[in-house]
Amino acid sequence: MAKNKIKKFNENLTFHNLMQIEYLDLMEFGCERKGKWNTFFKNEHPIILELGCGKGEYTVGLAQKHPENNYIGVDVKGARIWRGAKSSQELKLENTAFIRTKIEEIDYYFAQNEISEIWVTFPDPQPKSYKERKRLISQRFLDIYKKFLKPNGIVHLKTDNLPLFEYCLEVVETGGHKLLASTKDLYNSDIDEEVKSIQTFYENQYLNQGVKINYLKLQLNV
């Protein structure tokens, strides 16, 4: 393992805003903050998740723009999530937290109705059909989100991958979910500026290459 990664993994252990629980401990003891995230943030503000947050660009960016909300970035990659956790501390953001875990395990961290909104930004498209269950807007994952998302809670998706986007539209329709907004060319659409105001590192690369960004916004059928 590269020395730089080891350094980041070790520094992750010192961040007060980064939670890491070993799988066996999570299965046996659960997460002590489940249903009590308001005590960590020391307020009752809405909590918004960024799933597969990578370096946490959305978590950090939205937290800066909206101090009236709390934001939690979730990713399994320690060297990536290190950037978001470190940036949040450097910026002294009190309305951010990060969880290093697999998205499949995310419902162990949150109680019913604890989350107001979810962002899924440029996820792995998992193009092979046998990996459909790994797509973060598959019905399998939407069922997981239902366990902790508030009624009428919002789910956002941004992706450069058109087949994934079209698959997600099918999931919304067949699952009876409510499609609130949809476009295959976000930056040439009349979608509100909030969605366009923060761009990830990879999103900037795609845009510079002339790649169109797909976006959808939905409410789960509860």
pLDDT tens digits for 187-220? 999 988 788 989 888 899 999 999 999 999 999 9
pLDDT at 87: 96
Residue 2 has pLDDT above 80, yes or no: no
Listed residue (154, 153, 156) closest to 121, CA to CA: 156
pLDDT tens readout for residues 57-81: 999 999 999 999 999 999 999 999 9
pLDDT at 81: 96
**Could you list the active site residues?**
124
Its pTM stands at 0.95
pLDDT at 134: 94
171 band by pLDDT with thresholds 50, 70 and 90: very high
Listed residue (101, 89, 97) closest to 36, CA to CA: 97
pLDDT at 32: 95
CA–CA dist 98, 101 (Å, integer)? 10
35: left (phi over 0), alpha (psi -120 to 50) or beta: left
pLDDT at 28: 95
Mean pLDDT across 26-51:
96
Mean of pLDDT over the chain: 94
Q: What six digits make up the tokens of 157?
A: 């998706």
pLDDT tens readout for residues 89-148: 999 999 999 999 999 999 999 999 999 999 999 999 999 989 999 999 999 999 999 999
pLDDT at 1: 58
Measure Cα distances from 138 to 30, 71, 73, 94, 203 in Å: 25, 23, 20, 32, 22
